[in-house]
Amino acid sequence: MAEPFLSIQHVRKSFGPTTVVQDFNLDVEPGEFVSFLGPSGCGKTTVLRMVAGFEEPSAGKIVVAGKDITRLKPNQRNVGMVFQAYALFPNLTVAQNIGFGLKVAGMPKADADRRVAEMLDLIKLPQMGDRYPYQLSGGQQQRIALARAIAPKPKLLLLDEPLSALDAKVRVSLREEIRSIQKRLGITTIFVTHDQEEALSISDRIAVMYSGKAEQVGTPFEIYNRPATKFVANFVGTLNVLEGTVTDAASGKVRVNTQEVALKGKLNGSKTGDKLSLALRPEAISLGRHPGRDSSLSGEIAEVHFLGSVIRVRVGIGGSTVSLDTFNSPAAPPPAVGEKAEISFSSGDMLVLH
Amino acid sequence: MKSGRFWAWVVFALGAAYFFIPLIATVEFSMRMRRGVYSFDAYEVVLGDPRFQATFGYSVLAAVFTIILGVLIVVPTAYWIRLRLPQLRPVVEFITLLPLVIPAIVIVFGYIRMYGSNSPLPFLASDTGTNALLVIGYATLALPYMYRAVDTGLRTIDVRTLTEAAQILGAGWGTIITRVILPNVLIAVLSGAFLTFAIVLGEFTMASLLNRPAFGPYLQNIGANRAYEPAALAIIAFAITWACMSLIQILSRFAPRSANRPN
Ligand SMILES: Nc1ncnc2c1ncn2[C@@H]1O[C@H](COP(=O)(O)OP(=O)(O)O)[C@@H](O)[C@H]1O
Ligand SMILES: [Mg+2]
């Protein structure tokens, strides 16, 4: 593993008596794109602001490229930041906005102009240099905010929910644009979001946060398929949770409602009689029996939603309902509500949440 | 609907009459210096009076210094209160209102006692010192208007985020205030400056008690001793006020275009 470029070590932040971030640790490699994902109020912005220098950690330290920057002022850190609310300077043109950091740094005007033009090309708004921010759409303003942040070639790029004020279509296209620019420039980036799809689709790694702590740090694939805690499992993706009771810890048998499933090797440490939450992703469940899926439960079709290529079916099993998706097939009409149905899955896909 | 409009017009006409009749009467009176015909004699006398020119020039200069001092004090203060000490805003607002509650005469007596020639800060020992004290006093009188104007201007921008955006781009406080904050509240500062100008031109108490050759005491002197000239002076003062307002209208076109137009 390469030397981390950004290292956040045992960082804590309290405002008066309330601790908002506790023992936060994260190493980010050079050129990596890491997302902070978590519900509103979990401390994502606070961690980002400590990296930017707007808040001082109550404890712990932040190291960038081997240098402790914990006590540096924001204007000494050479960090780029994009804010949720665009924050373009309303009195300056687009070109002056992008050139602001260059001018402050004392770059000669000719060089600065060249760099601004380069940035305008990068964000695909080459004609917009003379416009004022109020003449632009939200998506354009946010691209300019991005160009302004990266124009001075910062060591780190921080983005705090940069897409949440935009409408859905722009949000998707802009997040891909941000990712491709980030890859091209190879700039180490932290991206804050509360939108799990956003985080899953563009990150190298995700730090899932909950009440001031990093619950799990991992690749999108790991976070989605092997959530470490109940919170992560629930927050990332759709999850079907079934309550079960261990009937035979030795052979791994668990009773769900009145039926039994075998979960060999998954119960680590549970005793007979323990209550467990079992979780399954919708795509891990099929309707009917299938070869290769070793477990099954029977129930009754509760709801059918025809969504076009996908049909989302909800099956009642005892007191709980599970969602699953099947592909539309012109030859076979979807099941009807009230029919008896059997669902099958591999016990290996079952997540046991403690 | 019809009668609603009718009454609206009646109220408007009453308001307009209240405003214009004294003005027209003053204009009319000011032009009757020469017996039997209308003339601008009174204006000629006033404008040709060297004391008019001297006191008017003195007050304009005092106003300019007052505006500079006011901007230097108020803009950073109002900005800092909005940025870091929002809980202090009611307190500061109260303090800025004090000059409206405490009569100018009290302030100026305080000054005379505090800054006399044998005090540790003998402002009153020299002419320059007394002029400086007058400007400081004027800045105090103008504080309620200047502070309110600037604070209203700051409300139209997101002070905190713009400050942070500038900071992370490497800017220090000087750059932030001069390149980000001030340009965005320029119109507000201008209207505060205009009010300051109007207050300083007409101010009597402070200038008179500090014995400065200002426009206010001159106005009072003429008003007490002449018949037609005071009317002409009133009209001139009125014209200056209107000229200031038009100037601000024109200047605001050149001010940052989006400053007061957040989307
Ligand atoms: N300056 C502050 N003073 C007091 N509490 C704060 C301050 N900033 C943030 N908080 C609190 O810290 C918590 C985390 O906030 P934040 O980091 O903004 O969360 P997120 O960005 O994940 O939504 C919230 O409960 C918020 O109220
Ligand atoms: Mg936030």
Centroid of ligand 2 to alpha carbon of A83 (angstroms): 10
Contact A12, A37 (CB under 8 A): no
pLDDT surpassing 70 at residue B263 = no
Using an 8 Å CB-CB cutoff, list chain A residues near B262: 90, 134
Which ligand is closest in space to the CA of residue A46? 1
HEC-encoded secondary structure of B212-253: CCCHHHHHHHHHHHCCCHHHHHHHHHHHHHHHHHHHHHHHHH
Q: Which two tokens stand for residue A98?
A: 């992008």
- The reported pLDDT for the residue numbered A74 is 92
Among candidate residues B64, B108, B70, B69, the one with its CA nearest the CA of residue B212: B108
**pLDDT band, residue B254 (cuts 50/70/90):** low
Q: How far is the CA of A168 from the centre of ligand 1 (A)?
A: 26
Q: How far apart are CA B59 and CA A336, in angstroms?
A: 90
Task: For residue A52, report the distance from its CA to the centre of ligand 2, in Å.
Answer: 14
A279 phi/psi in degrees, rounded to 5? -130, 145
- Measured distance CA(B131)–CA(B196) in Å, rounded: 17
For residue B261, give the chain A residue with the closest CA: A134
Pocket of ligand 1 (CB under 6 A): A 15, 20, 38, 40-46
**Rounded Cα–Cα distance for residues A233 and A248 (Å):** 25
Q: Which of A226-240, B46-60, B180-194, B241-255 has the lowest mean pLDDT?
A: B241-255
Q: What are phi and psi of B208, to 5 degrees?
A: -70, -45
Q: What digits encode the pLDDT tens for the residues B3-23? A: 778 999 999 999 999 989 999
Mapping DSSP onto H, E and C, the string for B155-170 reads: HCCCHHHHHHHHHHCC
Q: Which domains does chain A have, with CATH numbers?
A: 6-235 (3.40.50.300), 240-353 (2.40.50.140)
Identify the nearest ligand to the CA of A161 by its number: 2
What residue has token string 């808040």? A55
Q: Which ligand is nearest to the CA of A37?
A: 1
List the single residue in B158, B256, B263 with the smallest CB-CB distance to A87: B158
Start-to-end CA distance of chain A, whole Å, equals: 31
> Please, which pLDDT band fits residue B2 given cuts at 50, 70 and 90?
low
Work out the number of other CB atoms within 10 angstroms of the CB of residue A308.
Answer: 6
Q: Using one digit for the tens of pLDDT, what is the confidence trace for A262-298?
A: 877 667 777 788 888 888 888 888 888 887 788 888 8
pLDDT in tens, B97-142: 999 898 888 988 888 888 877 778 888 878 888 899 899 999 999 9
Q: Is B134 on the interface with A (CB under 8 A)?
A: no
Residues of A in contact with B261 (CB under 8 A): 90, 134
With cut-offs at 50, 70 and 90, classify the pLDDT of residue B256: low
Query: Looking at chain B, which residue has its C-alpha nearest residue A105?
Result: B170
Candidates A91, A130, A150, partner chain B, best to mutate (most B CBs within 10 A) = A91
| Protein residue with its CA nearest to atom 21 in ligand 1 | A45
pLDDT at A168 over 80: yes
Nearest CA to ligand 1 atom 1: A15
Number of C-beta neighbours around residue B190 at 10 A: 20
B169 with A83: Cβ contact below 8 A: no
Whether residue B64 lies within 8 A of chain A, CB to CB, comes out as no
Q: Which residues contact A139 (CB under 8 A, 6 or more apart)?
A: A166, A170, A173, A174
Chain A residue nearest residue B169, CA to CA: A101
Chain A residues 71-100 with CB within 8 Å of chain B: 73-75, 77-81, 83, 85, 87-92, 100
| Residues of chain B contacting residue A82, judged by C-beta atoms under 8 Å apart | none
Task: Tell me whether B104 touches chain A (CB under 8 Å).
Answer: no
Output the CA A20–ligand 1 centroid distance in Å: 7
Nearest to A324 by CA among A242, A262, A253: A242
This model of the complex carries an ipTM of 0.81
Q: Which of A229, A287, A266, A291 is nearest to A349 (CA)?
A: A266
Task: Name the E strands within A83-155.
Answer: none
The residue to which tokens 């009010």 are assigned: B195
Give the side-chain half-sphere CA count within 13 A for A49. Answer: 19
B166–chain A Cβ distance below 8 A for any pair: yes
Q: Which residue has the higher pLDDT, B120 or B183?
A: B183
Residue of A212, A169, A165, A351 whose CA lies nearest to A268? A351
CB contact under 8 A, A104 and B168: no
Counting ligand 1 atoms within 8 A of each CB, the residue from A18, A46, A84 with the most, and so the one to mutate, is: A46
**Backbone angles phi and psi of A351, in degrees to 5:** -100, 130
Nearest CA to A25 out of A2, A57, A71, A66 is that of: A57
Pairing of strands A213-218, A205-210: antiparallel
Quick one: pLDDT band at residue B162, thresholds 50, 70, 90? very high
Measure A82 CA to nearest chain B CA, in Å: 8
Nearest to A132 among B166, B179, B258 (CB): B258
Cβ pair B158:A148 closer than 8 A? no
What pLDDT is recorded for position A320? 82
pTM of the model: 0.80
What is the DSSP code (8-state) at residue A329?
B
CB A166 within 8 A of CB A177: no
